[in-house]
Structure 1
Amino acid sequence: MHRGLKSLLAAAGVALVAGCAAPSEPQVTFYSHGRSVQVAPAQYCDPTGEDCTTSPDAVRDLRVPPRAPLQVSVPGEVAETPWQVVFLYRGVNGEELDGRSPVFAPGERHAYTLQLPPDGAHLEHVEVQQFSAVLTQGVDGGVDFGIGGSWVLDVHQR
């Protein structure tokens, strides 16, 4: 076979394989106290909210010592859209409390550091939420944005 034809066929084969590869879903990285974990989305939708995949097995675990911060890093696909961090924690009296970061505007940031109050509260659950372009009627008369992607982390103290 002619050397040029072999090269052309090899290049076509590589292009065909590359063209068939599905784009991977974005991963969110959680980091605390010298350890990190990459988390696949538990839910991920196209921008219209029409085509969604769910993966309940995507929930990951990470040990976060009391009073230690948790750093959250999102890839460009998430940072280019509105997103926020929501979390559950236990107060010193054992009461379950929740909180959330501000909603970050598209392109505003790729990372967020979650720091609980220094009174001994224990972080239990964290979720990164990526907002979609889908709007729904809000209970207060306004509009709510749908959640197009979510990355979930369960936190352990020991």
Structure 2
Amino acid sequence: MHRGLKPLLAVAAVTLAAGCGAPSDPEVTFYSHGNSVEVKPAQYCDPTGQDCSKPPADPAGELRMTGRDPLQISVPNEVASTPWQVAFIYRDIAGNEVESRSEVFPPDTRHAYTLHLPPDAARIEHVEVQQFSALLTAGPDGGVQFGIGGSWVLNVHE
């Protein structure tokens, strides 16, 4: 083998190995009453909201839950290191659809959240973990709003 070719092959091997181990989009885990599902992002963009990965063909996870069981949500460091919140839809006791959300969690303060339904709720139907980006838009009241850079969606069935 030619002396100049050996270092070139070593560099090529390292480059190929690095490409094979490229990180994938972070997944969020939803867990309730012995059942869990890991969900890929329905949307995942860089902090500026510009460079976004292609969403999966079926962007929503599915999980069976009964009644008012709590839902545990675990997020990876890529989410926990930024502001994030949990938005959800539930049915109240009268059967009406109600939208609600958690507080916004500041960066590096938590990797998990347990969603407990409010007293008037009968069951959870839809949950979305929302990761905020640095992209600002004008708010309806003249203030500013942060864009959603990442979202992980869960549909709940009984």
Q: Once structures 1 and 2 are overlaid, which stretch shifts more, 49-58 or 65-74? A: 49-58
1:41 aligns with 2:78: no
Structure 1 counterpart of 2:18, which letter? Answer: G
1:15 aligns with 2:14: yes
* Alpha-carbon distance in 2 for matches of 1:97, 1:82: 24
Q: CA deviation at 1:19?
A: 2.3
Structure 1 counterpart of 2:46, which letter? Answer: D
* Alpha-carbon distance in 2 for matches of 1:140, 1:54: 33
Q: Secondary structure at the match of 1:15?
A: helix
Q: Secondary structure at the match of 2:58?
A: helix
1:18-45 CA distance string (max 9 Å, x none): 3223320000000000011000000011
C-alpha distance 64-9 of structure 1, shift in aligned 2 (>3 A): farther
- Name the counterpart of 2:50: 50
8 Å contact kept, 2:129–2:152: yes
- List alignment gaps of at least 5 residues for structure 1: none
* Alpha-carbon distance in 2 for matches of 1:14, 1:37: 36
Q: CA deviation at 1:58?
A: 2.1
8 Å contact kept, 2:90–2:121: no
- List alignment gaps of at least 5 residues for structure 2: none
Structure 2 counterpart of 1:30, which letter? Answer: F
8 Å contact kept, 1:40–1:151: yes
RMSD, aligned CA: 2.0
Q: Percent identity?
A: 64
- Name the counterpart of 2:85: 84
* Alpha-carbon distance in 2 for matches of 1:144, 1:120: 29
Runs ≥4 residues deviating over 4 A: 8-14
1:76-125 CA distance string (max 9 Å, x none): 00000000000001011100001100000000100000011355511000
Q: CA deviation at 1:16?
A: 1.7
TM-score normalised by structure 1 residue count? 0.88
8 Å contact kept, 1:87–1:100: yes
* Alpha-carbon distance in 2 for matches of 1:120, 1:143: 32
8 Å contact kept, 1:67–1:118: no
Structure 2 counterpart of 1:36, which letter? Answer: S
TM-score normalised by structure 2 residue count? 0.88
- Name the counterpart of 1:148: 149
- Name the counterpart of 2:123: 122
C-alpha distance 118-139 of structure 1, shift in aligned 2 (>3 A): closer
